[in-house]
Amino acid sequence: MSDSGKITSSHRSRAAVIYVRQSTLIQLERNTESTARQYDLVHRALQLGWPREAIRVVDADLGVSGSVLGQREGFESLVAEVALGQVGIIVALEASRLARDNAAWYRLLDLAGCATRWSPTPTRCITRRCSATGCCSG
């Protein structure tokens, strides 16, 4: 099944968030192609059916390591929006853009766990689904 076949109208009724991050200011300066590829993920959300006005880019963490806890304003804002059920999809170049430590990664997955949300990488989607008996990976 294609990624777009797994996404429902419920997902599309919420925001698509493109998360953009480079770990250091030097990477931001030197790896301009990677940064551009991350911004281009807006096109992926469009392909998956989100209208442009429902797509938001979170790039407040450019130059901040993914392993730094409590200092990533963009990530913390994203986690809050997920917890409030406002995010239907998170699009990132790779999972390590979101978090490099298990605590932050699992916190995000747990908060997303009781409402179906997708986090597609260029090659796959990650989801957690909630059933009547509880949350499970799917």
- Quote the pLDDT of residue 15: 95
- What are the Cα distances from residue 1, in Å, to 6, 57, 67? 7, 27, 33
pLDDT per 10-residue tile (average), the chain, 138 residues: 69 94 90 93 95 96 80 90 91 82 77 56 45 30
Q: Alpha helix (H) ranges present in the chain?
A: 3-6, 9-12, 25-30, 32-39, 41-47, 73-83, 95-98, 102-112
Delineate the domains of the chain, giving CATH numbers in brackets. Answer: 3-137 (3.40.50.1390)
- Selecting among 2, 10, 13, 23, the annotated active-site residue is 23
- Quote the pLDDT of residue 6: 79
Residue 23: active-site member:
yes
- Quote the pLDDT of residue 70: 75
Tell me how far apart the alpha carbons of residues 99 and 112 are, in angstroms, rounded to a whole number: 15
- Quote the pLDDT of residue 120: 52
Dig out the tokens for 126 from the structure: 């990650």
- Quote the pLDDT of residue 4: 55
Task: Please report the sign of the dihedral spanned by the C-alpha atoms of residue 45, residue 104, residue 33, residue 35.
Answer: positive
